[in-house]
Amino acid sequence: MAFEAAWATHDLRLLPAGLPRWLLLHWLGEQGWLVHGSAQPHLTLFEPRSPHDLSADEFSKRTGVFATSDSLWAMMYALRDRVRTARMLNTAVQVQRGGHWSRTQYFLSLAPRRPLQISGPELLAPGWVYVLPRTSFEPMPPYDWPGLGHVREPHWVSPHATAPLLRVLSSSLLIFRSTERSEYRKKYVAPHVTTLQESTAKSPLPVQRT
């Protein structure tokens, strides 16, 4: 399998030409690895830090190294153009229904720095997603979201410094713009992307802010 070969050798050239890299990241998440999105291309060690986070929960305010088991969520941080954007609001949640967890539901909003008047895709820039070992990380506990129900986020934290095992270049072209990859989007992206509009009509979104 191409994913297994690329991971074993850390050689992304073994992947099929044109394959969106986030599919490899999604596969790695299924194998138990975590990911962290960043605009920085040369990170060799993630140090614990106290984030500036305005979310309502205390988990997101802990001092530590943060990561996620969801590759699309990590890409929100990797693809944000920090020069053009002033603020980012985002979340990735699953809702418990009938004893089972729903598909992950995503929300992303980027606010441009004034006086820029540009479209959403222009607030994105190539970034990097780093693969981390799950050792020493703990997941965010599920919680009750008023108006929505019992939810969980693919949010993990470790109190220890962590060295990445692999970095993957992430480009918005692979998901948001390229018509040549429409079949990939139809097959892999669409089944994972749903709307929170109806569920959140009576309650605010829990968000991660950076």
DSSP 135-177: TT-EEPPPEEETTTEEEE--EEEESS-B--SEEEEE-GGGTTT
pLDDT, position 75: 94
pLDDT of residue 175: 47
Phi, psi dihedral angles at 188 (to 5 degrees)? -110, -35
So what's the pLDDT on residue 181? 41
At residue 172, the pLDDT reads 58
Nearest Cα to Cα of residue 154 among 87, 101, 97, 82: 101
Amino acid 19: pLDDT: 84
Write down the pLDDT at residue 74: 95
Contact of 79 with 172, CB cutoff 8 Å: yes
pLDDT at 139: 97
Domain ranges of the chain: 19-209
Number of CB atoms found within 10 A of residue 89's CB: 17
What residues contact residue 179 under an 8 Å CB cut-off, 6+ apart?
none
Successive 10-residue mean pLDDT values, the chain, 210 residues: 92 88 91 96 95 78 95 94 89 94 93 77 90 97 93 97 95 47 47 38 42
Residue 1 to residue 178: CA distance in whole angstroms: 25
